[in-house]
Structure 1
Amino acid sequence: MILPERLRHHFLTGRTRPARPDQVVRWFGAVQAQDFAGALWALAQRLAAPTTEAALLAAFDEGAFIRTHVLRPTWHFVAPEDLRWMLALTAPRVHAANAARYAELGLDARTRAAAERALAKALAGGVSLTRQELAEALGVAGIPPDGQRLPHLLMHAELEGVICSGPRRGKQFTHALVDARVPASPARSRDEALAALMQRYVASHGPVTARDAAWWSGLTIQDVRAGLEAAGDALTRWNEDGITWWVAAGPQAPARSRPRPAGGDDAVHLLPNYDEYVVAYRDRTVLLHPSTPVTSLAQSALLMQPVVHEGVHAGTWRRALPTRRGGPVTVDVQWIERPDEAEASESVAAAERYAAYLGAPLVVEVR
């Protein structure tokens, strides 16, 4: 029951799926995105109709979804209207996790505040700047950005709601002011925010446990349990073998979703690094292949470009991108156990979907 339900809630199976990438982001609440290209592919696999990487890049540049630090000390995609209240709820925990590193780098409260002012000044007027340009602005302000100081100062400013992702400049990422990219939204009380975040997480990832929710959100187990209870009738639970599982109580499909074309349910998925189907759970043992030992190392290995067959980890895949314009993308699918004819065919179909998404011809090997 667990894996079929999760596949459906993740929009990896099912007849009705979101029409746009920002709807996918909004449905999940947050999508882990330090692997930027991989996170875009994660969104693409959940849409009702095939799309391209170019279309998702355009949506990102337009600000349909934002990439910033939130929930845990890593990047996530979030919907613009969710950014402020999610930061208010989760940023204090991330700052606490980063406190020792701030101290090691000599980034005391005064330095971090001065850096925020310098970044805000440099980005005033709606401009967006690259990481190197922001480093230069910090240097001019007398704040050395050398080594790991720069990424931690930028992360701190993101967590404080000062800066977030801007439109790319060519292939370079930029930052912009949150006030320039994110519309104003009503503040939520802490209790409202806890309930909203837990409801969003359970609906999109369920069935889940409270420990899963604490891992995903970065919140304490006490806060998670308070949020689950505050969600009220929107969530339901059951106990099995001493474990409490949480699911959404009723239909939760996102607005403006639409049916997927016939034949759209895919048995094999080539998921990217840190896909929500894997990374969003504290306990990933249910995903392990029957022949895989239940170890922490095996659970961590699930994070790296897994092949998922009918919900279970079945192998890994690698890709080599075209070395020249119009060249092929090479996809190597390696199964844990030798695939049968149907599984091999499904692997090729999954690779073909990926190549079509990139707009490139395909060379594929299944083994």
Structure 2
Amino acid sequence: MGDDGRRHIGTAERRDRLALRQRLAGAARAGSPEEVAGSLVALHGTDPATVHLAVGARLADAAKTVEETERALYDDGSLVRMHGMRHTVFVFPTELTAVVHASTGRTVAARERSGLLRSMAQAGAPGAAWLAEVEESTLAALARRGQATAAELARDEPRLKERFVYAAGKSYEGVHTVSTRLLKVLGVEGKVVRGRPLGSWTSSQFRWAPAPRHPELDPGEAQAELLRRWLTACGPATEDDLKWWTGWRVTEVRRALAATGAEAVSLDEGTGYVVAGDAGPVAWPSEPWAALLPALDPTAMGWQQRDWYLAPELRPTLFDRSGNVGPTVWWNGRVVGGWAQRADGEVVWRILDGDGIGRDAETAIESEAARLASWVGTTRITPRFRTPLERELSA
């Protein structure tokens, strides 16, 4: 117990929770992409390759990674790629779309639409009534096509091609098409989602698709549900972790904590929170484990305070200047290095934190590298956000 009578959850136990609940220990691996996404709540989707790589690292049968992930995303529709927390693109279980939209999307959407109309007005472009006509026509065209690129939609609704100057006179002045800005607004409003890519599973070029229908939920109830799910997967977490991950105001975080009946615990970093009844010890992983996780993996990016699994001195090498993590090597619940893929397809890795790393660890990491290479095959992966170690290893 901590000095305040709360149960103390130390670093070792937090790493055990991570191993089991993030589906990283061998015995905890999942049987499907839906199980992976459900366990983690959200998979980072800004870099398309991250979704498949994050799933593959956690599947018991990684050979089916691409086939099964594309089935879930594009055939069954059990997973959906859409804007979520912090205005970031994620992949969620489809049943969570209503929760994500009500808890985070509405506020961002109102700001995005207002910003678009303001930019158009400053450029002397048509106003809200004109934009509403274009929006209605665009959504109708998308419904007819099922999935479509912005260029295909512009053939049906030519006004999408019209251009206006954004931020005239500013250092970041640019020319935007109506399609670029409007489709982004429709995405955060929960009206359209990212569809099947134009190329392979690593392609950043994609089609748009109509968003799955979902009920309109009360924002407070939706925030409580999202926080409950995230704490189940990632707890214990501090208030700062929760505020960072959700992108909410601190008052919203505290209200959601109270609504879920979250239980306070003691951490090395201060006060943390778990879902009610989850403060007790967890089962230890049955065996040591290694993992090769991709850039922007939800485990590596899951908390704002990361010292309990990532030594601060490793950050300049493993992160880019914007705070995006690159590919990481894990051993028993902590980041110990990074990996990359060379032009010839070889998966290479390097240990940066050798404390406690012995031959068993190196063997396990080598096995994970071989496992990754076996299902990636001839596909070449270059992270969207390059980091110093990844650039060096891939050269």
Match of 1:303 among 313, 325, 328: 325
Whole-Å separation in 2 of the counterparts to 1:299 and 1:244: 29
Which structure 1 segments of 5+ residues have no match?
A: 252-261, 323-328
Cα RMSD of the aligned pairs, angstroms, is 3.5
Which structure 2 segments of 5+ residues have no match?
A: 1-12, 122-126, 165-174, 279-284, 381-392
Deviations 1:8-48 (CA, angstroms, capped at 9, x unpaired): 22111263443221222233332211111112111222234
Q: Does 1:314 align with 2:305?
A: no
Whole-Å separation in 1 of the counterparts to 2:135 and 2:329: 42
Match for 1:70: what amino acid? G
- Tell me which residue corresponds to 2:351: 335
Contact 1:269 1:307 (8 Å CA) reproduced: yes
Q: Does 1:21 align with 2:37?
A: no
- Tell me which residue corresponds to 1:257: none
Correspondence 1:114-153 to 2 at 5 A: 114-125=133-144, 127-137=146-156, 139-141=158-160, 143-144=162-163, 147=176, 150-153=179-182
SS in 1 for 2:348: strand
Whole-Å separation in 2 of the counterparts to 1:112 and 1:74: 24
Whole-Å separation in 2 of the counterparts to 1:358 and 1:191: 42
- Tell me which residue corresponds to 1:325: none
Q: Does 1:57 align with 2:70?
A: yes
Whole-Å separation in 2 of the counterparts to 1:244 and 1:96: 34
> In terms of Rg, which structure is larger?
2
Whole-Å separation in 2 of the counterparts to 1:297 and 1:352: 24
1:206 deviates by: 1.6
Aligned residues: 341
Match for 1:67: what amino acid? R
Correspondence 1:120-269 to 2 at 5 A: 120-125=139-144, 127-137=146-156, 139-141=158-160, 143-144=162-163, 147=176, 150-171=179-200, 173-178=206-211, 182=212, 184-232=213-261, 235-240=262-267, 243-249=270-276, 267-269=289-291
Whole-Å separation in 1 of the counterparts to 2:157 and 2:342: 37
Whole-Å separation in 1 of the counterparts to 2:161 and 2:151: 15
Contact 2:81 2:89 (8 Å CA) reproduced: yes
Whole-Å separation in 1 of the counterparts to 2:21 and 2:321: 21
Match for 2:263: what amino acid? T
Match for 1:348: what amino acid? E
TM-score (norm 2): 0.74
TM-score (norm 1): 0.79
- Tell me which residue corresponds to 2:300: 278
- Cα–Cα, structure 1 residues 302 and 130, in superposed 2: closer, same or farther, change >3 Å? closer
Q: Which moved more, 1:289-298 or 1:307-316?
A: 289-298
Q: Does 1:355 align with 2:373?
A: yes
Q: Which moved more, 1:97-106 or 1:71-80?
A: 97-106
Q: Does 1:92 align with 2:92?
A: no
- Cα–Cα, structure 1 residues 143 and 117, in superposed 2: closer, same or farther, change >3 Å? farther
Whole-Å separation in 1 of the counterparts to 2:145 and 2:317: 49
Whole-Å separation in 2 of the counterparts to 1:286 and 1:299: 21
Match for 2:194: what amino acid? S
